[in-house]
């Protein structure tokens, strides 16, 4: 039994949870849902003991001890919390990291490898009967910054389990950023460890098909429990009301905005991409798809001038081959990019500015444009919050608003819907479909069929 009794939790003098009481019984496996900023992650962290209430108590019937220190050690062993940005926390001690670092080899000797991340406990990977699809032996020699989003999820979850198999596993958005097959692998894995080791699972998520062990749903509304109910599983399916993307501005006779000829990307003996050719014309809308680790974000890095191999390959941007005189900044002035790594390396907890101040600092003057976006996304309350207090979903909304602050010729969106609740996802889709210049070229990385239908007319799978 996990009991939260009359919990009051405040941040920067503002009460969030007040007189919250909740009992989670043995055998109850929870999915916590609610709109962005409703308190899902904060509740997970209170249950985990990462956060401590100003009033009230959190107790566990499986933790005993004569003093605080003994109970603390038991909690560390029996409760495992894996946050949405766990890797960022781990890498915070490594100075000078930047989000393009995965594409460079110079100076990488200071970056820990996957094997370093597991440390002395790496031998335990062989002791447990984990499913083959969670095998990470091939990743052990890679630097953590070189892993794809999906590969990172596997590493983080296994890292959270091998030292001590916990009694309770708390997962914050574990399925975000995973391709369909990886999502199925992970849900099967969670079911496996829950059944084999008797682990109680509590997780957050907005829309994915969940592990079969999940049997209760808790819905939050503005830091209050709206309801707790039995959870009915539904298979992931394409919504029946998905609207097709608007007609694009036909650019077939124009010079390609992006062109790649016989592209090959290789690290050591491993070829990531081999002999790929791809042309994107002005006004076209593309979906770039493929499994986690297949090289999708690498292609974006070549376009956005982050990857040094662009100079040795036949990569043409706006009709000019890379390396023929244009600067990186000349390219970036014409391209807008949003991707998962921007959250990983944002270090939002150190930013004391409000959301509004943070956006305008990079886009001044821009008050009128921002106010229009705030109205469209119904984000007035969000704008006054300090960035360091934003939830993962709120951070993503802020980054989307910043993305839409300027009009560029080419838009690169890498998993733009991660962490968004259904309402904010719908608003983003409507904005992209109704307010973008038809001459703008859009390329989207996604794992979801509905996104491809909403946004794009062309697909490239790698």
Question: DSSP assignment of 3-37, as one string?
Answer: EEEEEEEEETTEEEEEEEEEEE-TT--EEEEESTT
Count other Cβ atoms within 10 Å, centred on residue 15. Answer: 12
Say whether pLDDT at 94 is over 60.
no
Q: For the chain, what is the largest distance between any 2 Cα atoms, rounded to a whole number of angstroms?
A: 77
User: Where do the structural domains in the chain lie, given as residue ranges?
Assistant: 2-230, 258-461
Q: For the structural domain made of 2-230, what CATH number should be given?
A: 3.40.50.300
The distance from CA 381 to its chain's CA centroid, rounded to whole angstroms, is 23
Those residues with Cβ within 8 angstroms of residue 308's Cβ, 6 or more apart along the chain or in another chain = 103, 104
pLDDT in the model for residue 99: 46
Domains 2-230 and 258-461 are alike in CATH topology: yes
Let me know: does 395 contact 388? Beta carbons within 8 Å.
no
- The owner of tokens 């394409």 is 238
* Strand residue runs (E) in 72-173: 79-82, 168-172
Say whether pLDDT at 109 is over 60.
no
SS3 314: strand
Two tokens, residue 12: 């920067």
pLDDT of 250-260, one tens digit each?
Answer: 555 577 899 99
Two tokens, residue 119: 């440390």
* Strand residue runs (E) in 206-346: 216-220, 225-230, 258-267, 270-280, 285-289, 314-317, 320-321, 335-338
Provide the pLDDT confidence category of residue 91 given band limits of 50, 70 and 90: low
Q: What is the mean pLDDT of residues 316-334?
A: 82
* Strand residue runs (E) in 235-305: 258-267, 270-280, 285-289
Count of positions (residues) in the chain: 462
Query: What fold is seen in the domain 258-461?
Result: Rossmann fold (3.40.50)
Mean pLDDT across the chain: 85
Q: Considering only CA atoms, which of 155, 422, 424, 188 is closest in space to residue 292?
A: 155
pLDDT in the model for residue 253: 56
Radius of gyration over alpha carbons of the chain, in Å?
A: 23
Q: Considering only CA atoms, which of 139, 147, 138, 140 is closest in space to residue 103?
A: 147
Q: What is the mean pLDDT of residues 187-212?
A: 92
pLDDT of 260-311, one tens digit each?
Answer: 999 988 877 778 888 999 999 999 999 999 888 888 888 888 888 777 777 7
pLDDT of 145-154, one tens digit each?
Answer: 777 766 777 7
Provide the pLDDT confidence category of residue 175 given band limits of 50, 70 and 90: very high
- The owner of tokens 């081999």 is 274
């Amino acid at each position: 039994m996990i009991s939260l009794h009359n919990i009051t939790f405040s941040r920067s003098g503002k009460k969030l949870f007040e007189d919250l009481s909740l009992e989670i019984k043995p055998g109850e496996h929870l999915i916590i849902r609610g709109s962005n900023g409703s308190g899902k992650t904060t509740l997970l962290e209170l249950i985990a003991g990462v956060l401590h209430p100003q009033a009230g108590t959190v107790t566990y019937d499986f933790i005993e001890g004569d003093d605080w220190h003994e109970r603390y050690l038991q909690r560390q062993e029996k409760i495992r919390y894996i946050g949405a940005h766990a890797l960022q926390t781990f890498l915070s001690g490594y100075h000078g990291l930047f989000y393009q670092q995965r594409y460079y080899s110079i100076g990488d000797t200071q970056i820990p490898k996957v094997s370093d991340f597991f440390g002395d406990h790496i031998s335990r990977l062989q002791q447990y009967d984990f499913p083959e699809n969670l095998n990470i032996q091939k990743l052990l020699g890679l630097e953590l910054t070189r892993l794809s989003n999906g590969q990172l999820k596997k590493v983080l979850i296994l890292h959270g389990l091998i030292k001590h198999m916990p009694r309770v596993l708390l997962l914050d958005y574990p399925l975000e950023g995973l391709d369909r097959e990886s999502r199925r692998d992970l849900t099967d894995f969670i079911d496996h460890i829950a059944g084999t080791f008797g682990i109680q699972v509590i997780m957050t998520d907005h829309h994915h098909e969940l592990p079969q062990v999940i049997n209760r749903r808790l819905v939050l509304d503005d830091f209050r429990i709206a309801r707790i109910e039995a959870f009915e599983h539904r298979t992931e399916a394409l919504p029946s009301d998905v609207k097709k993307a608007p007609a694009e501005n036909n650019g077939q006779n124009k010079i390609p905005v992006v062109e790649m000829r016989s592209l090959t990307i290789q690290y050591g003996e491993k070829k990531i991409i081999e002999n790929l050719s791809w042309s994107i014309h002005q006004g076209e809308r593309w979906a770039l798809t493929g499994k986690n680790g297949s090289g999708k974000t690498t292609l974006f890095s070549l376009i956005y001038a982050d990857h040094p191999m662009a100079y040795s390959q036949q990569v043409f941007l706006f009709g000019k081959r890379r390396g023929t005189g244009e600067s990186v900044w000349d390219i970036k002035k014409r391209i807008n990019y949003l991707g998962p790594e921007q959250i990983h390396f944002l270090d939002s907890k150190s930013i004391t500015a409000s959301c509004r101040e943070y956006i305008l600092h990079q886009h001044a003057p821009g008050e009128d444009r921002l106010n229009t976006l705030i109205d469209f996304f119904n984000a007035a309350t969000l704008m006054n919050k300090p960035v360091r207090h934003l939830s993962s979903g709120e951070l993503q909304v802020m980054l989307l608003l910043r993305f839409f602050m300027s009009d560029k010729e080419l838009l690169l969106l890498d998993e733009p819907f991660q962490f968004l609740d259904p309402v904010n996802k719908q608003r983003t889709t409507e904005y992209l479909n109704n307010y973008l210049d038809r001459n703008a070229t859009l390329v989207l990385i996604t794992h979801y069929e509905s996104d491809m239908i909403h946004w794009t007319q062309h697909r490239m799978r790698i």
